[in-house]
A = this chain, B = another copy of it.
Amino acid sequence: MAKTQITAEPGIPQIIITREFEAPCALVFRAYTDPELIVRWLGPRELTMRFDYHEPRDGGRWRYVSIDPAGNEYGFHGVFHGEPSIDGIVQTFEYEGVPGHVALETVTFEDVDGRTLVRSVSSFQSVEDRDGMIASGAEHGIRDSDERLEELLAELQGR
């Protein structure tokens, strides 16, 4: 059901992702903001995830680490612009393996007959940064994330 659409047009420093989930907005929003839930779905299946901190408020910082089967850690961090709410989450995003390259991420949740349409816009500082993100294998992670989130939402709803 989570038909993921990834849009990354040539020359435009953005990635736009839309997907629809069989769950109400409030539950999807919770899955996007509760770190105990986020670690259960964000990222490729072969990685595990640990939050060092997650402060969902205006100016709050977050940092998580993805850990591969060999134990290598990959850090990511950012800050929240405004209080995350069901009206939207706006945050910065930086992969610490390529420091100094920052994206602005905006996630919104729209009710569609009881399902939830999630739209995510990542605005990069340059097309090169955007292309680097894609070359790093982001699409694999995005598709795994959506499948895992779909499974988690089904479990949380007792389906």
Contact = CB atoms under 8 A, between A and B. Distances in A.
Given A12-B13, A90-B92, A104 B102 contact: yes
A65 to B, nearest CB: 17
Interface in A102-134: 102-104, 106, 121, 123-126
A40 interface: no
- Give the interface residue-count category, chain A: 20 to 34
A137 to B, nearest CB: 23
Contacts of A92: 79, 81, 90, 92, 104
A61 interface: yes
Interface of A: 11-14, 55, 58-61, 78-82, 87-88, 90, 92, 94, 100, 102-104, 106, 121, 123-126
12 contacts: A11-B12, A12-B13, A13-B13, A13-B123, A58-B61, A59-B59, A59-B60, A59-B61, A79-B80, A81-B94, A90-B92, A106-B125
